């Protein structure tokens, strides 16, 4: 049985670690911790990974070290090195078009203007990955979305961020254990 690959999208470096754009990385790091591990540097893929066994399945939790708009290279390196098919590749990312606190599970689809997804589609030659779309909401007023995603969550959002990340991790586990359709029925209802 092929492994699962779960990649959290974000930007490298401490200046980005608490930004909205890094919510995918936050979720993957929290899931590694939930499973009793942490992401560590992997010299073969040049990513940070946690090679886990969960519910009898091999699951590679990962984040790239490149910037968001270059996410395709790390995802390709990981899927090639661990021989993971696209239908077992889960991408966890921020989503402007979903209100903060909500999330959606999706398989395939367009990139919706998300540079990380665009890069992955280009490098893999397909957009058929499974996606955990973590809602960060639209920027207020006329704020540029590019600036908004690179800012930290507001103080009121930070109060609810841990619960949102926990739900994203629950959705990842549901996808792996029960499949995309069950995860969609469970997590896309709000």
Domains of the chain: 4-187 (3.40.50.1470)
Q: What pLDDT, on a 0 to 100 scale, did the predictor assign at position 38?
A: 96
- State pLDDT tens for residues 75-89: 999 999 999 999 999
pLDDT tops 80 at residue 14: yes
The pLDDT confidence band at residue 22, using thresholds 50, 70 and 90, is: very high
pLDDT tops 90 at residue 109: no
Q: Which residues are catalytic?
A: 21
- State pLDDT tens for residues 165-183: 999 999 999 999 999 999 9
This model's pTM is above 0.85: yes
Q: How far apart are CA 70 and CA 181, in angstroms?
A: 29
Q: Please list, residue by residue across 57-91, b when 16 or more beta carbons sit within 10 angstroms of its beta carbon and e when fewer do.
A: eebbbbbbebbbebbbbbbbbbbebbebebebbbb
- State pLDDT tens for residues 33-90: 999 999 999 989 889 999 999 999 999 999 999 999 999 999 999 999 999 999 999 9
Cβ 32 vs Cβ 38: under 8 Å: yes
Phi-psi region of 56 (alpha: psi -120 to 50; beta: other; left: phi over 0): left
Cβ 6 vs Cβ 122: under 8 Å: no
- State pLDDT tens for residues 117-166: 999 999 999 989 999 999 999 998 888 998 999 999 999 999 999 999 99
Give the β-pairing of 130-135 and 103-107: antiparallel
Give the β-pairing of 47-54 and 40-42: antiparallel
pLDDT tops 90 at residue 30: yes
């Amino acid at each position: 049985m092929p492994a699962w690959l779960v990649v959290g999208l974000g930007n490298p470096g401490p200046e980005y670690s608490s930004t909205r754009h890094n919510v995918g990385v936050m979720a993957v790091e929290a899931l590694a911790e939930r499973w009793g591990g942490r992401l560590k540097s992997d010299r073969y893929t040049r990513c940070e990974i946690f090679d886990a066994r969960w519910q009898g399945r091999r699951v590679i939790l990962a984040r790239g070290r490149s910037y968001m708009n270059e996410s395709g290279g790390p995802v390709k390196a990981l899927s090639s090195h661990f021989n993971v098919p696209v239908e077992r590749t889960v991408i966890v990312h921020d989503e402007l078009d979903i209100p903060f606190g909500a999330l959606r599970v999706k398989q395939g689809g367009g990139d919706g203007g998300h540079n990380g997804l665009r890069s992955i589609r280009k490098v893999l030659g397909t957009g058929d990955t499974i996606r955990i779309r973590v809602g960060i909401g639209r920027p207020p007023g006329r704020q540029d979305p590019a600036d908004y995603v690179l800012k930290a969550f507001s103080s009121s959002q930070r109060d609810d961020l841990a619960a949102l990340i926990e739900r994203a991790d629950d959705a990842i586990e549901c996808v792996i254990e029960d499949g995309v359709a069950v995860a969609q029925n469970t997590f896309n209802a709000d």
